[in-house]
Structure formats: C-alpha cells, structure tokens
Structure 1
Amino acid sequence: MAQLVFLNGPPASGKSTLARRFVDKRPLALNLDVDVVRAMLGRWLEQPLKAGQAARAVALEMARTHLESGGDVIVPQFVGRPNFIDQLADVAAETGIRFVEIALMLDRESALAAFEERSQNPTTQSHVDAIALTNLSNAADPVGDMYDAYRRLIESRPLARRIEVTRGDIDTTMLSVEAAIQT
C-alpha cells in the first residue's frame, strides 16, 4: 500500500539525501522536493514567500496525483509551522493513504555547523538557493532562527517520529528512518 512520508529537519540535516535513498529502494516512489518545485518557478527569488506558497500548492497536487496512482511519496522539507504538514496529512487522509511524519533531530550547534559547512561547498542548486534565501533575510541569525522555530514545532507534534541524526553517518540515520516508517 502506498504511503506519504513527510521528512522534516533543520537545514542541512540530511533530508534530501535520505529522501533519495528512500526512493532508490522503492520503484516509482516520488521524491517530492518542494525546493526543486520552487526553483521551477520563473524569477522565484524576487518573491520568495509567494514562490514558496505556490510551490507547496503544486506539491500537494503532485502528491495527491501520485498517491492516487498507487505510488509512495516522500517530501523532504524544512518547515517551522504546522500548516503544510497538516495539508499533507489531509491529502493522505483524502486518498486513504498512510501518513508518516518524521522529524530529524540534532542539537543546535551541530545543525548550524552543518549548514555552514554545506554553504562553503554547495553541491546542488537547492544548496545555492538556501544560501541566497538566508542572505535575503534581515535576521541576525536566520539559520538559528529556523532551527529554533523547528524545535518549537516538533515539541507541539507528539506523533512525529523523532530520529536522532549522527552527522557523517547517513547509513545509521537511514536505518532509523526506515524503522520509523515501518512502525
């Protein structure tokens, strides 16, 4: 039976890598990266908030379509507010599909260090885009603020399956993610 997995975590916590591994093991599973969808929108960086909203709306319909065809969907996305998670859960319920919410957990210092390290050597367009978004922010510590919002959100979501991330050990983290999906 198909399932919808939402993989939340601080920036640079391994969400995209874990999502790629998830789909590599499942024929026709969809890795629905909202940042990639957003990057498909013309001149999105000029209106990043509106672009993010549009990308999430498109992603919800993509998820619905793929779930209705019987395919698994994983959505690797940082969110610091519950709206998008609740919308994904609604799509799963409306399509009769199991919804799994996973929260990648690492301490603040490790999360900030991971983002800084990735920013020094971005390997994907999504990494470059994340740097651009933080540079647009007026906040003194935009990544720290994102981390803090994430932790507050996770504290309010008792059903989210929490997975401790060990930086540099994606294999162990993936085993934990797979176990969380199976339970």
Structure 2
Amino acid sequence: MKLILLNGPPGSGKSTLARRYADAHPPALALDVDRVRAMIGGRRENAGEAGLLARDIAVAAARTHLSAGHDVVVPQLLARPGFAERLEALAAETGASFHEIALLPGLAETRRRFAGRCSSEIETAEPLTEEDLAAAYERVAAYAATRPRASILRDEDAYPALLASLT
C-alpha cells in the first residue's frame, strides 16, 4: 500500500497523474485537497482557515483509505514544510510506503498546460498571472530541493517515470 504525494506548480500535471494512477490501480484514491477546499463554505473570505480544514479532512480521508489497505495519491502544491511531513507520518502510522514526487516538467511546458486547462478546473482565489505561475514553479523547485527523499520528475510524459519511481 502506498501514499503518494505529487507536488508541483499549477499546470504541472499533478491532478492528471493522480487520476491516471487511481484509474489504473483501483480502488486507489486520488485525493485532491483543492477539491475538498472548494466544498468548504466561505473559503474565499477565510482562505487560510479553509485551507487548513481541507488538509485536515484530506488526512482523515487518507487515513481511512490506507487503513482499508488501499493506495492514496495526493496532488498538492507544496512550497513550505508541514503537510508533506504530516503525510509521511500518516504513511508510517498506517504501514504504507511514502513516495514524494515533485513534477517539474519545465516552465514552458507548465505554462502550456496551465493555459490549456478547461474552465471546470478548480478555481484559484485570484487568476494566476505568468509571473505568479513562474514564482510558484520556483517555490516548488526550491522546496523540493530541501526534501532529500523527494523524486523530481522532469519528463513531459511523467506517468512512466512515476511508476518507475514507485518501485
């Protein structure tokens, strides 16, 4: 049983890879914290509190699914300590292996993917500018460099590399 954290900037392919993995490994759970946050009332007015609540809910859902013996994939942009460590501790608590993967396919590819997102994607509080996207990319890259066991995937088609990193 695996707990897989997919970190990356918007447009890096986190959610797409999480869904692809879950579809190929049923009944794995693709646990998108942003979708959980979108269900919390007042999330725009209380963004910080909503984000913390969404992460707490996600950890509880992951614990339930892992305890039942099933894989969980969490696609989430992380650029500071805290949540990755919580997920790593949860994996240890439930006997799951923990896999932390940063998706960094290059800024140009990330921009292309982000521009191609459909309108049904989870909205951000404010629209992202090119500068915001570049800054998010750099923050994720810098954070991933501080995580000694994190794998960094730079492939445009990251799914085969993802599977290889899990063995």
The 2-side partners of 1:64 and 1:143 are apart by 31
Task: List gaps (5 residues or longer) in structure 1.
Answer: 167-171
- Which residue, 134, 139, 162 being the options, matches 1:149? 139
**Cα separation, partners in 2 of 1:27 and 1:106, compared to 1, 3 Å:** closer
Q: What residue in structure 2 maps to residue 111 of structure 1?
A: 110
- Which residue, 109, 126, 129 being the options, matches 1:134? 126
Q: What residue in structure 2 maps to residue 169 of structure 1?
A: none
Q: Percent identity?
A: 39
The 2-side partners of 1:142 and 1:40 are apart by 24
| Length, aligned pairs only | 167
The 2-side partners of 1:48 and 1:105 are apart by 26
The 2-side partners of 1:158 and 1:38 are apart by 29
- Which residue, 145, 150, 155 being the options, matches 1:160? 150
Q: What residue in structure 1 maps to residue 41 of structure 2?
A: 42
Mapped contact 2:18–2:74 kept (Cα < 8 A)? yes
What does the per-residue CA deviation read over 1:103-148, in whole Å, with 9 as the maximum and x for residues that have no partner? 1112334334433x13xx524241xx13xx234x8x9933222222
TM norm structure 1: 0.84
Q: What residue in structure 1 maps to residue 66 of structure 2?
A: 67
Q: CA RMSD in A?
A: 1.9
Residue 45 of structure 1: SS of its match in structure 2? Answer: coil
| Code of the aligned partner of 1:61 | A
Q: Could you list the structure 1 runs, at least 4 aligned residues long, displaced by more than 4 angstroms after superposition.
A: none
Task: List gaps (5 residues or longer) in structure 2.
Answer: none
Q: What residue in structure 2 maps to residue 15 of structure 1?
A: 14
Q: What residue in structure 1 maps to residue 158 of structure 2?
A: 173
| Code of the aligned partner of 1:163 | L
The 1-side partners of 2:88 and 2:6 are apart by 13
Per-residue deviation at 1:173? Answer: 1.5
Higher helix share: 1
Residue 100 of structure 2: SS of its match in structure 1? Answer: strand
The 2-side partners of 1:32 and 1:68 are apart by 15
